[in-house]
Copies of this chain bind each other. A is one copy, B any other.
């Protein structure tokens, strides 16, 4: 049997402690599967005295994570601290420069510095693995990089922020407005210290950028992700979308188009009978589409100590078994710069507006749509409330350009009260 694989763990939050728990709980199982032992030799965190519910006494302690990353008795550094600058980046760089492989759960770090870090790893003959960085325990990085390696990928989609999905599904089930459920999520500890990372779509956008890089062989381009959070989603839209057979999700979509790489992280409508539409609460889901496979759907826990540690250990076990790949599935030097395309792919849209109680109001709205080349799939007008009535329109496929033309023309009709809401319907 080969010598044991020695782990150094930088960061002992819930994920780090979860990894310690796995390594301690069934060492024989890990050894049987890896063909060698898997051991922890050193750990590092900010506060040595904190009780993490695991016995750390057998491991060397380093106050400085970068010192841990360079230790001679460490083969693989687990960077489980988070943050895209500062110490986390330094730890990964130090580890690579010292000739060690890296496993990280840090989506922000890779979304911002993935290309540079991948090149650095490859220059050293080392690898960086990051299954835990995207959709927690769901093995999406492996499925995309390895299982679907025979496919030209056509689209990658996902609900990859459990907090946003919790908020949106809770709004619907409890009939509560956004602000109330946001506060609930805050009270439950579901939100990041900076809530915009969640509700602004930034965290999920990081994940999407990583998936897009693997799927399309392009350099990670987080700046090319069109970001729109869920803060403007109202209970009215959730309810009305449900009336029309849809659910609203913070959905990430990446696809290669004739005009470049389209990456969107934004609220979208999806059919309520689709797997994405049926996804409730904090669970994540990723949909992978390729020319041979058609579509597969992966569903699972997107966060939490156990699932995230499971993903970290999957990477560790690959390294223990000698399974090594370039960081983004092919050599970093060969990744193309992505040309960012702004929502080029036509789609149907959901429109909600309030029509004033004037003769011919609906005809005027319909004419504006027609003049922009937008045809109507379904329309529903509700009872008048005071001087106006809610109107819902589901369009056939149209371009965003045509849609924006129509939206700006509505005002001149004099029959639309306030600003119409338009939300893309993603065809799943």
Q: Which residues of A contact B (CB under 8 A)?
A: 18, 21-22, 25-26, 29-30, 32-35, 131, 137-139, 142-143, 146-152, 217, 273, 275, 278, 290-301, 304, 306-307, 309-314, 316-318, 321-326, 329-331, 334
Known: A22-B292, A334-B32. A310 touches B138 (CB 8 A): no
Closest 6 CB pairs of A and B: A150-B313, A139-B147, A296-B300, A149-B317, A292-B310, A297-B299
Q: Contacts of A309 on B, CB cut-off 8 Å?
A: 150, 292
Q: Which residue of B lies closest to A297 (CB)?
A: B299
Report the minimal beta-carbon distance from A90 to chain B, rounded to whole angstroms: 27
Known: A147-B139, A150-B30. A300 touches B310 (CB 8 A): no
Q: Which residue of B lies closest to A38 (CB)?
A: B150
Known: A139-B296, A292-B310. A317 touches B32 (CB 8 A): no
Q: Contacts of A25 on B, CB cut-off 8 Å?
A: 152, 291
Report the minimal beta-carbon distance from A395 to chain B, rounded to whole angstroms: 27
Q: Which of B35, B142, B312, B322 contacts A146 (CB 8 A)?
A: B142
Q: Contacts of A318 on B, CB cut-off 8 Å?
A: 146, 149
Number of this chain's copies in the assembly equals: 2
CA distance A371 to B179 in the complex (A): 54
Say yes or no: B292 contacts A300, CB within 8 Å.
no
For the A-B complex with A149-B318, A150-B314, A293-B307 known, give 15 more contacts whose Cβ atoms are closer than 8 Å.
Answer: A22-B150, A35-B331, A139-B139, A139-B146, A139-B148, A143-B143, A147-B310, A148-B310, A149-B314, A292-B310, A294-B304, A296-B301, A298-B298, A298-B299, A321-B325
Say yes or no: B139 contacts A313, CB within 8 Å.
no
CA distance A295 to B138 in the complex (A): 9
Report the minimal beta-carbon distance from A428 to chain B, rounded to whole angstroms: 12
Q: Which of B299, B313, B330 contacts A33 (CB 8 A)?
A: B330
CA distance A267 to B138 in the complex (A): 28
Say yes or no: A143 contacts B139, CB within 8 Å.
yes
Q: Contacts of A323 on B, CB cut-off 8 Å?
A: 146, 323-325
Q: Which of B143, B273, B275, B316 contacts A150 (CB 8 A)?
A: B316
CA distance A292 to B312 in the complex (A): 11
Q: Which residue of B lies closest to A300 (CB)?
A: B296
CA distance A143 to B143 in the complex (A): 8
CA distance A147 to B326 in the complex (A): 17
Say yes or no: A307 contacts B330, CB within 8 Å.
no
Report the minimal beta-carbon distance from A245 to chain B, rounded to whole angstroms: 15
Say yes or no: B306 contacts A137, CB within 8 Å.
no
